[in-house]
Structure 1
Amino acid sequence: MQRRIPAVPRQAGFTLLEMIVVLVIIGLIMGLVGPRLFGQADKAKVQTAVTQTKMLRGALQTMRLDISRWPTDQEGLALLTTKPANADAARGWAGPYLDEAVPQDPWGQPYQYSQQPSGESPITLYSFGADGRAGGEGQDADVGYPPSQPATP
């Protein structure tokens, strides 16, 4: 008489080879899609800097109407949130002109301000861009109302 060995049910699952194939496919897809996503993030930072410089310029223009002058280079953008020490300017100051503190640019650097005219803008107000230095091209270009001449950091 022959003894029968009971059949052991096979467990369902993936083999190591199947898992490696899936991981390779996911890696190829990310290699194609990833750079495009990072490119969009860089464009978004530039657009944010453009929007913030316009917002800061509008706040500066409103403040100028109140105190009849642009902030000095020493006062800078802080005058948007802090009452001026000068009694004449403090009398007309109706700030703060921003809901929060003066923002940093999207790359974590302060915006550059000068009361010197820049091209058609009555002031100089800009971000150094991604590289944090004056000038540059593409993502590294200065954003906003940069000085007519190359600035020095």
Structure 2
Amino acid sequence: MKKNRTRRSCFTLIEVVVVIIILVTLASIATPLYLNYVKKANVGAATTQIKLLEDALTGFRLDVGSYPETLEGLVDNVDQNEKWDGPYIKPAIPKDPWGNDYVYIYPGEHGDFDLLSYGADGQPGGSGENADITNYVATE
């Protein structure tokens, strides 16, 4: 005598919906936390790169006697200066974490030179997450 057994081998629609709701809830909590972490990491990376560029510019000034006219002077002896002992940064001038060039102003308005990234929006000025990252304290 055989018994008819019902075997459950599939998920019900309710179970699938509950799992999807749980996953969406977890994603809605985790995504803003992750994006906030990425923003802070990008600002930290830009600050570190600016400090490294400052060190390279200082090394250039110590060897040559003045700062370069452009950041390319750190990689290549563009002025054919005999005292140039570079490259002062390898392999090339880095881009900021948002893929933009760093802005180098020599002579600077806030010191010997100004070095800055325009931040996430790529535009001068801004506040919050779009604030400029500089090698000087910006005053308004």
TM norm structure 1 = 0.82
Runs of 4+ in 1 over 4 A off after TM superposition: 146-150
Please report how far the alpha carbon of residue 146 of structure 1 lies from its aligned counterpart in structure 2 after TM superposition.
5.8
Distance 1:24 1:137 in 2: 36
Q: Can you list the C-alpha shifts for 1:57-107, whole angstroms capped at 9, x where unaligned?
A: 1000001111111112xxx11111111334xxx211111111211000001
Please report how far the alpha carbon of residue 12 of structure 1 lies from its aligned counterpart in structure 2 after TM superposition.
3.0
Structure 1 equivalent of residue 79 of structure 2: 85
Distance 2:79 2:108 in 1: 24
Match of 2:10 among 13, 27, 44: 13
2:132 pairs with 1:142:
yes
Name the larger-Rg structure. 1
Distance 1:35 1:103 in 2: 28
Contact preservation (8 Å) 2:51, 2:135: no
Q: Can you list the C-alpha shifts for 1:102-151, whole angstroms capped at 9, x where unaligned?
A: 000001000000112343x321100001111111001111102269689x
Identity among equivalent positions (%) equals 34
Structure 2 equivalent of residue 55 of structure 1: 52
2:106 pairs with 1:112:
no
Superposition CA RMSD, Å? 2.1
Unaligned runs of 5+ in 2: none
Unaligned runs of 5+ in 1: none
Distance 2:26 2:20 in 1: 10
